Amino acid sequence: MELLVILFFFGLSAGAVAKIKGHSFFLWFLIGFCLPFFGTLTALFTSNDRRAGTRTRRCTECPHVMPIHMQVCTRCGADLPFPEPAPEPLRAQERLFEA
Ligand SMILES: [Zn+2]
């Protein structure tokens, strides 16, 4: 019985961390519940979707602009290289959108 309570709190902590980072609370609750300690740790080290969502990059094959964490272009299907800091023209464009 105590084990269930402990598992519940591991699930809760993983879910809470994931929720803060913009992921599904329920999914991460299950992960934390089934994999106590590891679920919470994994949730802590996952990328922050909310922060990543504000950064974009341009496909190398077409003019499609997408979130920086995408690895395949959603328009033309091109494999994209590991994300690097946005090139200068794109940053200038982002500043234009923010203004
Ligand atoms: Zn593309």
**Same domain, residue pair 14 and 36:** yes
Interval 42-59: pLDDT, tens: 888 877 666 544 678 888
- CA 28 to ligand 1 center in whole angstroms: 31
SS3 per residue for the chain: CHHHHHHHHHHHHHHHHHHHCCCCHHHHHHHHHHCCCHHHHHHHHCCCHHHHCCCEEECCCCCCEEECCCCECCCCCCECCCCCCCCHHHHHHHHHHHC
Does position 93 have pLDDT exceeding 60, yes or no? no
- CA 71 to ligand 1 center in whole angstroms: 11
- CA 51 to ligand 1 center in whole angstroms: 23
Q: Which domain holds residue 37?
A: 2-46
**Same domain, residue pair 59 and 94:** yes
**Same domain, residue pair 57 and 94:** yes
Does position 92 have pLDDT exceeding 80, yes or no? no
Q: Which residues pair with 65 in a beta bridge?
A: 58
Does position 84 have pLDDT exceeding 60, yes or no? no
**Same domain, residue pair 34 and 57:** no
Q: Are residues 22 and 48 in contact, defined by beta-carbon separation less than 8 angstroms?
A: yes
- CA 4 to ligand 1 center in whole angstroms: 48
**Same domain, residue pair 84 and 59:** yes
**Same domain, residue pair 64 and 40:** no
**Same domain, residue pair 57 and 28:** no
- CA 25 to ligand 1 center in whole angstroms: 32
- CA 56 to ligand 1 center in whole angstroms: 13
Number of domains in the chain: 2
When pLDDT is cut at 50, 70 and 90, the band that residue 77 belongs to is: very high
- CA 96 to ligand 1 center in whole angstroms: 22
